Amino acid sequence: MKSIIMEDSIKCWRKETCQDILNTLPIDETDLKIIQTLSENARASNVEIAEKIGVSEGTVRRRINEMVNKGIIQGFILLLDCKESEKCIKVFIDLQVEQKNLQEVVNTLKEHERVIALYRTNHTYNILCEAMFLSIIELQQFIDTHIKTDKIKKTYTKIITGSYKKCTWTGI
């Protein structure tokens, strides 16, 4: 598969990194243009996408369905802008968990309504928990009941105070 020329419209942490990732996907330039358009506006209709990239609506519909079936596109999401809310606290919590307790901790945290994502990492802190809360009190209650347990050896909590750039399309 030939290298895909990446346009600036896909939002990512580094253009070079995005290019490397995109080159590993089984997509062509038309698929890339569809992905770029959806990354800008996930609500764009197939007709709007077709007009923008110069193909038929049927081509867009078929290509999107194929990418969904192959798992390249795994959903269309809503992104909330927390800066519009004064009651939104986003945190990243690094967790150090012994291997014997790992699955139990993951299963407990992934069921919590405030946990957005859990990541396995290759660091002393082997789980990264991303969560959102309505108040510091709610965050503290979460820490007291779900984080301060004998299953979790050590933690480091970071409260997000703003963002410089987000990567919305990778799902990571």
The 10s digit of each residue's pLDDT in 91-134 is: 999 999 999 999 999 999 999 999 989 999 998 999 999 999 98
Return the CATH fold of 1-79.
Arc Repressor Mutant, subunit A (1.10.10)
The answer to whether 23 and 4 have CB atoms below 8 angstroms apart is: yes
Parts of the chain belonging to CATH 3.30.70.920? 82-160
Domain 82-160 has CATH 3.90.1570.10: no
What is the predicted pLDDT for the residue at 172?
A: 40
Tokens of 160: 């997000």
Parts of the chain belonging to CATH 1.10.10.10? 1-79
**Helix, strand, or coil (residue 5):** coil
User: Could you tell me the pLDDT band of residue 162, with boundaries at 50, 70 and 90?
Assistant: confident
What is the predicted pLDDT for the residue at 38?
A: 86
Spell out the residues 6+ positions from residue 59 whose beta carbon is closer than 8 angstroms to its own.
Answer: 30, 50
The answer to whether 32 and 22 have CB atoms below 8 angstroms apart is: yes
The pTM of the full predicted model, rounded to 2 decimals, is 0.58
What is the predicted pLDDT for the residue at 78?
A: 62
Q: Which residue has the tokens 């999401």?
A: 77
What is the predicted pLDDT for the residue at 22?
A: 67
pLDDT per residue as tens digits for the range 19-63: 566 667 788 889 988 988 887 888 899 999 999 999 999 999 999
What is the predicted pLDDT for the residue at 108?
A: 94
The answer to whether 87 and 135 have CB atoms below 8 angstroms apart is: yes
